[in-house]
Amino acid sequence: MNFQRNAVVLAAAAIGAMSLVACGSDNNAASTGVDTSSSTATCEGKANLSAAGSSAQKNAMDQFVSTYIGVCQSKDKTVNVAYNPSGSGDGRTQFIAGQVDFAGSDSAIKGDQLAQAATRCVGGEAWNLPLVFGPVAVAYTLDGVDDLTLNGETIAKIFNGGITTWSDPAIAALNEGVTLPSTPITPITRSDSSGTTDNFQQYLTTASNGAWTQGAGSDFVGGVGEGARGSAGVAQAVAGAPGSITYVEKSFADQNKLTVAKIDTGGGGVELNNETATKAIDGAAFVKDGAGDLTLDLKSIYGTTTEGAYPLVLATYEIVCSKGYDADTTAAVKSFLTSAANEGQANLGEQGYVPLPDSFKERVTASIDAIA
């Protein structure tokens, strides 16, 4: 599995697919390779949950569901969670309308949608619980250069046209001893609306020392480069175009054997791997204190100066009601999310995600426990 965006799938197809997963009882538990014996998930409540939203977390959700099925089988319970990776916006819309039990989203629910969700969550509010993290690579193809360091400012200038050749003095200053060709830089960006684009542009806004003034959003607003559709599209475009560069989930960079730039946050270039991404997540701050809504202060990740922390990490949320479910739905949502936040995180690093650090996991678990 990979941290990837998939085509929109019909809800019925998703339900059917997940039902097939539920049928393969023994194989499901074994397929994840996860020890479920110490799980605190109760497997109580209604047997079938529904959810929709972020395609970026789709493969993590597959693992969460498979692991949860295994946990509940060991307790002689039959459960299923049908997740439709229809996109973050659609997931939030369906959640507000009460068409799904929870939503997956690359961005926290806020503003008018948050107010609308309060109507759905009778007597409660919508909480954003970050359960899935995936590092984003700044990946490039440049003949003769397989070790490159960039920082927020140079990345911003590449993607808004302020730097147009690889031998630019600003890049050279970060790469002493590296022979940089005068090859023109071709930025490859997402042509479709994307949570990865939104988070990448939020990173540039935070980390570019004022070089990025274009703002953020799901559509690329830098004004330069060539567009390609989807994570697979930008990765394949860079693989076939010397001198090009893109932002893409790490698993796609790995699949296409792209070279990934280190990012300098002030103490030298930091390589992208699970350890360095975990350091950034471990230092994340939340907008609110205490158990409950866990909307992240993304500046605390994107603006990190922690030594050895890789700052460009995409967080995706599960959006749930703090209260307002019926009793069976409450029990099932809490049980599933408890499993997802704990044993469900095992082996996610092999899927292109970053498992929750222990301290972060404790905070998430406390919020799950607080759902009434």
pLDDT tens digits for 146-177? 999 999 999 999 999 999 999 999 999 999 99
Is 86 annotated to bind a ligand? Reply is no
Interval 277-295: pLDDT, tens: 999 999 899 999 889 999 9
Is 194 annotated to bind a ligand? Reply is yes
Is 54 annotated to bind a ligand? Reply is yes
Task: Check pLDDT > 90 for residue 28.
Answer: no
Is 369 annotated to bind a ligand? Reply is no
Mean pLDDT score of the chain: 90
CA-based torsion, 300, 302, 303, 306: positive or negative: positive
Percent of the residues in the chain that have a pLDDT greater than 70, as a whole number: 91
Is 31 annotated to bind a ligand? Reply is no
pLDDT, mean of residues 356-371: 94
**136-277 has the same fold as 11-134+284-299+313-369:** yes
Domain range annotation of the chain: 11-134+284-299+313-369, 136-277
CATH number (3.40.190.10, 3.40.50.200, 3.40.50.970, 3.30.70.1400) of 136-277 reads 3.40.190.10
Nearest to 202 by CA among 136, 257, 147, 250: 136
In the block, residue with structure tokens 């309308």:
97
Determine contact, residues 291/370, Cβ cutoff 8 Å: yes
What CATH code would you report for 11-134+284-299+313-369?
3.40.190.10
Interval 208-267: pLDDT, tens: 999 999 999 989 999 999 999 989 999 999 999 999 999 999 988 998 999 999 999 999
Is 56 annotated to bind a ligand? Reply is yes
pTM of model > 0.75: yes
Q: In this structure, what are the phi and psi dihedrals at residue 161, rounded to the nearest 5 degrees? A: 90, 5
pLDDT number for residue 33 = 64
